[in-house]
């Protein structure tokens, strides 16, 4: 087969052709590199999130001398090709990087995994062009020592399937002839870069190198040619596998029949909070569930257990997926006893996994190895259910799950054309803990105060609830935005997603995707809708750590000052019963199963202790809510802390202050206004009037309440429970007319 043959854009079946001559016309070399990287990275069949790297060598003007110098732009450490911008690329003087070879050679103990090789990573910083602060990655020399202008190093599933086959070298030659050269597995680094340079010199016809069990690196002197070559190489591997797909059953054939979607949901909802509690030690983890048809085909197969035990092969995967997943040998079936059986198997499996992982660490560790990681599995495979991935955030658990999906596709391809092989245990350990150390060297910032936590905020569509979502997402919390109006809940969730920079699904079941926030609907007076909402939260994140109830209602009295019986009941249903139902449902379905410390915060009102004419239903409901806090604090202890904030009247952003009520209040208090004034102006006048009744003489805002609620959710007030914290500007107890 002739690698030089490039497919027509319409002929690709295993990748997307996205090059656009019009878009790149007039771009600088760096801009063209960013474009090439983005179109490669957005296709997960080409490379996984954060995986792979690209580079371009070009001439730039030296800011010190004004001379034209050769500079290599290469994806920096920790970047992701699909979202990379200019700032994600390191720039290095090419001649300085090449000059590092002497430093490396002069050390008599040089070689793969040697101290001098590890120290070379820090030397790349001394080669930075134009004081570029972006840290170069460990793959930098792989690009520098390839004597071509443009280099792509990708991790395509189809190609890794070839690289991870027992007869990978022979298969590489069969697919690519002499134009792709096989090299055995070696940890990426300076030593491998020099080996590659020598391979290229010895094989001038070569257009790329197959890196055993790792991926592929290829090159060209034109960037479009390099891009098209990358796609061509992946397409050829994909077609080679495709042509052999029906020669034997996939993964040895089916061992179990899939569960119905309804039953799968029932089982997941039943086990996830309990399971999250088990794996969240010493730190909480967030879940992502993957149960598409291809995933279920794998976990339900004859060979799933054997392949899972082998672990993954691509080095990019180890930091997140660990050396191997936990496979739970459960027979999918109906009935409550089946869930109990699954729970028992998980209990035993988790205990054995922790023991096995500690033994693996002891077998493979070296004197300078980082400390043992949290030993629980980050990937759990369950027949009938799919993959459950775990991480410190939704983003990380989603990527972890994505990586294992890639591993499954690699296994699928390798088992189709040959037999899958994983990295030897010591090599896997060295990569896992080397990457761990590399991550630490990036000086990751300390975790935020609500990191790893999931907060359900009821009443998030407006006012205090919306502001709480914005306040606590900035502290790392994942947000379940809940409102009677699904549209309003989604709007808040969309704002959080945009704020956090993750444009991935914000509503739905949470299966296989959702970002740092989802929008859901619930009626706090209807237990069934609350339970359904909490089930969605479980499927999205694995569990919940905090419940904030800000939903409330004020029904204005009639002109005569009366309130109807129905309005009185509705006020208590929402302001008291609603908070109770939400707290009880969260406790029964999640908190008790998780057995992780959690928080419930309710908003009551300063009106609970300030009697005044015209709001008897509202004021007495809030007084009842105050006592509800104390009752729930006792009932839900010791795992749950239950508190409340009691604001004075909050006008800004409140759904309880529509324009007609604001105008009625202005008229009631003889405050001058004009019908032509905007809603914001009218609200401002009313808020200022209420402010003058406080000691601080300042309007009470949603932001004030959100700050108090954040403190109650954090560890700052970790010994506070059963209390109502006034946020009312010093509004005194007494009687207001």
Active site residues: 618
Long-range contacts made by residues 494-497, C-beta under 8 angstroms, separation at least 24?
494/519, 495/466, 495/469, 495/470, 496/469, 496/470
Q: Are 543 and 592 in contact (CB under 8 A)?
A: no
Which of 215, 190, 182, 204 shows the shortest CA–CA distance to 53? Answer: 215
Tell how strand 286-290 and strand 386-391 pair up.
Answer: antiparallel
Angle value at C-alpha 84, between 83 and 85, nearest 5 degrees: 120
From CA 59, how far away is CA 711, in angstroms rounded?
54
Output the CA torsion sign for 123, 124, 130, 131: negative
Q: Are 112 and 187 in contact (CB under 8 A)?
A: yes
Neighbours of 673 (CB within 10 A): 14
From CA 485, how far away is CA 487, in angstroms rounded?
5
Listing DSSP states for 339-350 in one string gives HHHHHHHHHHHH
Q: Is 303 buried (19+), middle (13-18) or exposed (0-12) by CB count in 10 A? A: middle
Which of 679, 667, 557, 542 shows the shortest CA–CA distance to 615? Answer: 557
Q: Are 633 and 721 in contact (CB under 8 A)?
A: yes
CA distance readout (Å), 370 to 362, 436, 440, 478, 610: 12, 8, 10, 29, 59
Q: Are 479 and 710 in contact (CB under 8 A)?
A: no
Query: Which contiguous run of DSSP H or E holds residue 240?
Result: helix 223-242
CA distance readout (Å), 190 to 2, 32, 138, 150: 31, 27, 8, 19
């Amino acid at each position: 087969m002739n690698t030089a043959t490039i497919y027509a854009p319409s002929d690709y079946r295993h990748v997307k052709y996205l090059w656009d001559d019009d878009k790149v016309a007039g771009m600088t070399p760096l801009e063209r590199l960013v474009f090439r990287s983005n179109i490669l990275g957005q296709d997960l069949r080409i490379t996984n999130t954060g995986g792979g790297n690209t580079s371009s060598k070009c001439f730039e003007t030296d800011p010190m001398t004004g001379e034209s110098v050769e500079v290599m732009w290469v994806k920096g450490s920790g970047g992701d090709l699909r979202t990379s911008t200019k700032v994600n690329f390191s720039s290095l003087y090419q001649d300085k990087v090449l000059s590092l070879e002497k430093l490396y050679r002069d050390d008599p103990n040089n070689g793969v995994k040697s101290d001098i090789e590890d120290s070379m990573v820090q030397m790349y910083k001394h080669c930075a062009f134009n004081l570029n602060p972006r840290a170069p990655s460990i793959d930098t020399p792989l690009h520098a020592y390839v004597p071509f202008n443009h280099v792509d190093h990708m991790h395509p599933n189809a190609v890794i399937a070839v690289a991870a086959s027992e007869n990978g070298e022979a298969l590489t030659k069969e697919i690519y002839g002499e134009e792709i050269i096989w090299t055995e597995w070696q940890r990426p680094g300076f030593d491998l870069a020099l080996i590659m340079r020598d391979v290229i010199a010895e094989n001038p016809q070569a257009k790329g190198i197959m890196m055993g069990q790792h991926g592929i690196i290829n090159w060209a002197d034109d960037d479009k040619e390099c891009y098209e070559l990358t796609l061509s190489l992946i397409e050829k591997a994909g077609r080679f596998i495709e042509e052999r797909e029906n020669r034997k059953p996939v993964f040895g054939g089916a061992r179990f029949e899939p569960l119905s979607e309804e039953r799968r949901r029932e089982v997941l909802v039943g086990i996830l909070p309990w399971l999250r509690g088990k794996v969240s030690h010493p730190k909480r983890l967030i879940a992502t569930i993957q149960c598409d048809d291809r995933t279920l085909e794998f976990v339900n197969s004859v060979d799933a257990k054997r392949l899972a035990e082998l672990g993954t092969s691509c080095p990019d995967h180890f930091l997140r997926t660990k050396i191997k997943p936990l496979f739970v040998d459960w027979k999918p079936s109906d009935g409550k006893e089946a869930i109990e059986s699954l729970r028992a198997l998980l209990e035993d499996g988790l205990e054995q996994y922790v023991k096995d992982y500690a033994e693996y660490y002891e077998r493979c560790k070296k004197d300078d190895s980082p400390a043992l990681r949290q030993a629980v599995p980050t990937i759990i495979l369950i027949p009938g259910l799919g993959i459950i991935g775990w991480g410190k955030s939704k983003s990380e658990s989603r990527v972890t799950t994505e990586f294992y999906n890639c591993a499954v596709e690699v296994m699928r391809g390798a088992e189709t054309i040959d037999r899958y092989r994983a990295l030897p245990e010591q090599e896997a350990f060295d990569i896992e803990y080397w990457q761990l150390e590399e991550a630490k060297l990036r000086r990751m910032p300390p975790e935020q105060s609500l990191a790893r936590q999931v907060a359900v905020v009821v009443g998030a569509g407006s006012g205090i609830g919306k502001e709480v979502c914005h306040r606590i997402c900035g502290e790392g919390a994942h947000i379940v935005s809940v409102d009677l109006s699904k549209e309003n809940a989604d709007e808040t969730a969309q704002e959080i997603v945009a704020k956090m920079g993750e444009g991935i699904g914000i509503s739905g079941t949470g299966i296989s995707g959702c970002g740092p926030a989802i929008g859901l609907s619930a009626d706090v007076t209807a237990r069934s809708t609350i339970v359904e909402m909490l089930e969605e939260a479980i499927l999205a994140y694995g569990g919940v750590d905090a419940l904030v109830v800000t939903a409330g209602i004020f029904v204005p009295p009639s002109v005569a000052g009366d309130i109807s019986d129905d309005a009185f009941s509705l006020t208590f249903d929402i302001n008291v019963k609603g908070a109770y139902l939400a707290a009880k449902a969260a406790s029964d379905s999640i908190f008790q199963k998780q057995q992780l410390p959690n928080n419930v915060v309710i908003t009551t009102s300063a009106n609970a202790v300030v009697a005044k004419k015209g709001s008897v239903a509202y004021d007495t409901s809030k007084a009842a809510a105050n006592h509800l806090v104390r009752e729930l604090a006792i009932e839900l202890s010791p795992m749950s802390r239950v508190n409340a904030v009691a604001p004075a009247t909050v006008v800004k952003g409140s759904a309880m202050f529509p324009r007609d009520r604001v105008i009625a209040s202005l008229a009631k208090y003889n405050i001058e206004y004009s019908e032509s004034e905007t809603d914001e102006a009218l609200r401002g006048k009313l808020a200022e009037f209420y402010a003058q009744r406080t000691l601080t003489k300042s309007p009470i805002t949603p932001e004030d309440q959100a700050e108090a609620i954040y403190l109650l959710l954090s560890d700052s007030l970790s010994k506070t429970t059963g209390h109502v914290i006034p946020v009312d500007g010093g509004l005194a107890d007494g009687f207001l007319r």
